[in-house]
Amino acid sequence: MKCFTQAFSILTLAMAAPAFATVVVTSPSNGQTVTSKVQFVANATTTCSSGVASIGIYVDNTLYFHSNGVTLGTTLTLPLGAHYVVVQEWDFCGGATSTALNLTVVNQTVVSVASPANGSTVGSPANFVATATSSCSTGVAAMGIYVNNQLAYVTHGSSLNTQLALANGSQNTVVQEWDNCGGSATTPIQLNVSSGKTLYNLQSSWGWKSSGQLAPFYSDCVPFCSGVTWSMWQAIANPSLSGNAAVFNLGGTTPYSDVLFYNQLIGDSSTQGLPDNDQALVPSLHNFTYDAYFYLSDAPHTQAVEFDINWFMNSVGITWGTECRLEGGNQWDVWDNVHGKWVPTGFACNPLANAWNHVTVTAQRGPNNSVIYKSITLNGVTANINQTYAPFSVPSDWYGITVNYQMDGDKNQTAITSYLDNFSFTYQ
């Protein structure tokens, strides 16, 4: 009888012993800082002969999720702040086992910088374009730019588009956002700044040349051609920003005819004392900035105005042609060198009439003399073109860099007048 009692006691203890179980959480990890949408991945094992019944997730002692089976995979949206999370399994033998996690939930914020690229070489001023998104329910409050740990620019809202002056050399910049929930995020941009050299007040420089371009073939005709007339005068005090503007006129009788005004800055026939006789300067240059103020007296009758840069060497020609098309869509177009045609960019061009407009064109000569249109800024609004074209062929004796200003006539070839002032050209 005693042996039977002992055997019964041993059997009873064996039947009452709990099953051994584990809960392994592979995502997230304990102590992790996460964004509001948290992915949970876990699995459970047990010595219970009938297996695991289900797995659940408690957040701050509240059951957030429950599923049948031995595995769990789900994404939960958690409030901001610190949370105590428990992933628990229940088996068919009546047992339960859990694994605890401490998590901190912060805003999901992304700062996307479209320009300039990290590690790039830029001129000054550099064009910064960025946007920010945040999981904060009330959105992004402001964005700013730090240069070498000093706040250099700040603006309200979730987008940023500005020109920022930078010193030459290596510069550590950071684009930062601040949201309305007290959070912030940053994107660092390391830059090498090479401002290059700048030629100033080109509207008052000597050496401007011009030619008419008679529609529909637009071959240059100088000094006169029937159907189109033009003129240029310097030292204009009114309207003027500097007191020394230049005025440009176009007229004639042949509809849609144009006039091209150009100045040979570097190389052959240089007006700036830069003949580059040893041909060392022109091939070394890759980045260019055309910066000017223009005033349209007859905007309703102006078909278009152009702001162009030209580079010539070894029978290779590059024209960075940028056209503000007023008639037919108010849009920026760029010039396709190979096919000889204007290509719409999709970016609007809406200059002020009878007022000064500030235009900045940045261009780059890329690998294999590729024609890279970087950006066009009009009155503080930047269009990031970022389009690349092939160069074209020119006579072998063409050598140097020139700038153009062009006016295009409308369907009636109505006489029009415009002005340029504070015209500068930067090369590097």
Task: Mark whether 208 and 80 lie in a shared domain.
Answer: no
Name the domain boundary from 193, 222, 254: 193
Q: Which residues pair with 421 in a beta bridge?
A: 293
Determine phi and psi for 405, rounding to 5 degrees.
-135, 125
CATH code for position 372: 2.60.120.260
- Distances in Å between the Cα of 254 and the Cα atoms of 215, 226, 229, 399 are 7, 8, 10, 33
Identify whether 392 is part of a domain: yes
- Peptide linkage before 391 cis (omega within 30 of 0): no
Q: Range of 385's domain?
A: 197-427
Residues 173 and 204 in one domain: no
Classify residue 5: in a domain, yes or no: no
Cα separation, 255 vs 411, in Å, equals 5
Check if the beta carbon of residue 143 is closer than 8 Å to that of residue 158: yes
In the block, which residue shows the tokens 């340029």? Answer: 420
- By three-state DSSP, how is residue 60 classified? coil
- At 284, is the secondary structure helix, strand, or coil? helix
Do 255 and 371 lie in a common domain?
yes
Cα separation, 308 vs 406, whole angstroms: 8
**Cα-based distances in Å from 287 to 8, 121, 168, 299:** 93, 10, 15, 31
Specify the DSSP class assigned to residue 368.
G
For residue 3, is it within any domain? no
- Domain shared by 274 and 179, yes or no: no
Q: Which helix (H) or strand (E) holds 376?
A: strand 371-378
Both tokens assigned to 386 = 């970022």
Residue 337 contacts residue 319 (beta carbons within 8 Å): yes
Q: Rounded CA gap, 228 and 215, in Å?
A: 9
The answer to whether position 325 is within a domain reads yes
- Quote the pLDDT of residue 114: 82
Q: Specify the pairing of strand 33-35 against strand 96-106.
A: parallel
Choose among 299, 281, 312, 272: nearest CA to 425.
272
Q: Are residues 335 and 250 in the same domain?
A: yes
Q: Is residue 8 part of a domain?
A: no
- Cα separation of the two ends of the chain: 106
44 and 159 in a single domain? The answer is: no
Residue 19: count of CB within 10 angstroms of its CB: 18
Looking at the domain assignment, is residue 269 inside a domain? yes
- Whether 383 and 329 have beta carbons less than 8 Å apart is answered as no
* 256 contacts 410 by C-beta, under 8 angstroms: yes
222 and 363 fall within a common domain: yes
How far, in Å, CA of 255 to CA of 247, rounded? 22
pTM greater than 0.85: no
Same domain, 96 and 115: no
Q: Which of 143, 163, 193 is the last residue of a domain?
A: 193
Residue 37 sits in a domain whose CATH number is 2.60.40.10
The pLDDT value recorded for residue 165 is 85
Do 60 and 74 have their domain in common? yes
| Residue where a domain terminates, one of 148, 171, 193 | 193
The answer to whether residues 121 and 54 belong to one domain is no
- H/E stretch holding 306 reads strand 304-313
Q: Is residue 54 part of a domain?
A: yes
Say if 10 falls within a structural domain: no
Domain count for the chain, please give it.
3
Number of C-alpha atoms within 13 angstroms, CB side, residue 44? Answer: 32
423 by DSSP, 3-state: which? strand
Looking at the fold, whether 134 and 229 belong to one and the same domain comes out as: no
Q: Which helix (H) or strand (E) holds 57?
A: strand 52-59
pLDDT at 17: 54
274's CB contacts (< 8 A; 6+ apart) are: 265, 266, 267, 281
Are 312 and 277 part of one and the same domain? yes
pLDDT tens for the chain, 428 residues long, are: 444 444 444 444 444 456 788 999 999 999 988 877 788 999 999 999 999 999 999 999 999 999 999 999 999 988 888 999 999 999 999 999 999 999 988 767 789 998 887 877 777 778 888 999 887 778 899 999 999 999 999 999 999 988 888 888 889 999 999 988 878 889 999 988 876 788 989 999 999 999 999 998 888 888 778 899 999 999 999 999 999 999 999 999 999 999 999 999 999 999 999 999 999 999 999 999 999 999 999 999 999 999 999 999 999 999 999 999 999 899 999 999 999 999 999 999 999 999 999 999 999 999 999 999 999 999 988 899 999 999 999 999 999 999 999 999 999 999 999 999 999 999 98
pLDDT of residue 18: 62
* Maximal C-alpha separation, the chain: 134
